[in-house]
Amino acid sequence: MLVYAILIVDMQAGMLAGAPKHDLAGVVARINALTAMVRGSGGRAVWIRHCGQPGDGFEPGSPGWEFLPELLRAPEDAEIGKTLNDAYAGTGLAALLRELTPSRVLVCGWATDFCVDSTVRSTVSHGFAAVVPSDAHTLSDRPHLPAPAVIRHHNWLWSELIADPPVRVLPTNELLAEASPPHQVRG
């Protein structure tokens, strides 16, 4: 049986400032479905919280520091505070995952091209089997590229990384179907 951990990166109220985030409601719904699947399989959800500098939108204790209220969190979930893009840098994330020994580590959240990207790459560097739900990460349009193009680019890039095992990138519905045991018909 596969044991999952899911890293939900920076899905905090502070992300609502500025330009709209691509398909945010859909991303939140898919993250909720994935966290339920992970918990249901005996895995663990790990909420990554950006801890900003005094006065910025992610300052600890500020309204922007709180997780989006639409996200379904559970008491058994873990939380890791970070100050850099990479959720592993200067945190206890790698030690927590080594303790949990997941078969696969799902990475989702905000922002595709910064904190999610850094965390996917670091998951691989720390020797974990990384899986990216291709439709469960988001960002705003960038000055040179619209958000959907950035998302497509990073999904392709992660699937092409040289890693052992390779990074798997697939839509949430395929991940959910893969994790559901086949129903047996009684006769």
182 confidence band (pLDDT: 50, 70, 90): low
Count, residues in the chain:
187
pLDDT the model gives residue 89 = 98
186 confidence band (pLDDT: 50, 70, 90): low
What are the boundaries of each domain within the chain? 4-179
Beta bridge partners of 80: 48
pLDDT the model gives residue 180 = 81
> How confident is the model over 89-124, as pLDDT tens digits?
999 999 999 999 999 999 999 999 999 999 999 999
Q: pTM, whole model, 2 decimals?
A: 0.96
Beta bridge partners of 12: 67
Spell out the alpha helix ranges (H) of 41-146: 93-100, 117-125
> How confident is the model over 67-95, as pLDDT tens digits?
999 999 999 999 999 999 999 999 999 99
Greatest Cα-to-Cα distance within the chain, rounded to the nearest angstrom: 65
Whether the CB-CB separation of 84 and 115 falls below 8 Å is answered with no
Which CATH number is 4-179's, of 3.40.50.850, 3.40.50.300, 3.90.79.10, 1.10.10.60? Answer: 3.40.50.850
Q: Write out the two tokens for 87.
A: 């959720």
Whether the CB-CB separation of 57 and 14 falls below 8 Å is answered with yes
